[in-house]
Amino acid sequence: MIKLIADYGTYGLWILSTREAVLEYVDSGYFNMSSMSFLISALGVVWSIVRIVNSVLDGRVNREQTTPRQIGTKKKSLKMRAINKIIIHCTATPEGRNVSVDTIRQWHLDRGWSDIGYHYIIDLKGNLHEGRPVERQGAHVRGYNKGSIGITYVGGVDSNMKPKDTRTENQKGRLEALIMDLMDSYPNSTLHGHNEFSSKACPSFDVQKEYIEIIKYFKECDY
């Protein structure tokens, strides 16, 4: 109720004035059981409308806060660089072992890097986390960091540290959505797996085969 009044002052004042009118009516002496039933029904309708409007507003805010587009929003304090590649990685950690962004960042700091090397990280539950700002050059593919965005998912090897596509369904869904959003945001970019630029198995699956339809779609888009 407070939020609604704050956002929609006129509507809130109307509700408050209605309350004052009801109190005045009660004090006038013309109040009876029939009037009470009517007032209760009327106020119930008003309250239902308030709850519906608040639910719509809350839903709208939540959707806006969780879209990949917002996660990738450019920060005003940094100048955006040209992007021509989106490269997929894995953390090369055993299947089912959760690894936090802070842990990955510390691994990279221990190597002498200035920050986490990836721009986006997808955890086991499919949650998307920001790493290094996309405006800054990453550290994820030797020789191809300039002009690229690095995405990693947690996992990529089995319990014996052998390459394995360990992505959960939530990770797959989040990764696909992020890829589509980034390729739409940077129409001149191409999609790759880390293994296309090195002898590593990372990301433990064939990116070109997995996302052939998405790649084809953006190639045919007329920007």
- Tell me whether residue 90 is one of the annotated catalytic residues: no
Query: Which residue among 11, 129, 172, 200 is the active-site one?
Result: 200
Question: Residue 219's pLDDT is what?
Answer: 87
Q: What are phi and psi of 156, to 5 degrees?
A: 115, -10
Q: How far is CA 12 from CA 45, 163, 210, in A?
A: 15, 60, 52
Q: How far is residue 120's CA from residue 118's CA, in Å, rounded to a whole number?
A: 6
Residue range 133-149: average pLDDT?
Answer: 93
- Tell me whether residue 140 is one of the annotated catalytic residues: no
Query: Which residue among 89, 119, 164, 192 is the active-site one?
Result: 89
Q: Helices in the chain by DSSP H: which ranges?
A: 2-7, 9-27, 33-66, 68-71, 101-110, 169-185, 207-210, 212-220
Region class of 161: left (phi > 0), else alpha (psi between -120 and 50), else beta: left
pTM of the model: 0.65
- Tell me whether residue 118 is one of the annotated catalytic residues: yes
Residue range 13-32: average pLDDT?
Answer: 49
Tally Cβ neighbours within 10 Å of residue 92: 18
Pairing of strands 85-90, 190-193: parallel
- Tell me whether residue 89 is one of the annotated catalytic residues: yes
Residue range 138-146: average pLDDT?
Answer: 93
User: Which amino acid type is present at position 122?
Assistant: I
Q: Is the per-residue pLDDT at 156 higher than 70?
A: yes
92 vs 219, residue with greater confidence = 92
Query: Which residue among 118, 120, 153, 186 is the active-site one?
Result: 118
Q: How far is residue 218's CA from residue 4's CA, in Å, rounded to a whole number?
A: 42
Residue range 110-132: average pLDDT?
Answer: 95
- Tell me whether residue 153 is one of the annotated catalytic residues: no
Query: Which residue among 119, 153, 194, 211 is the active-site one?
Result: 194
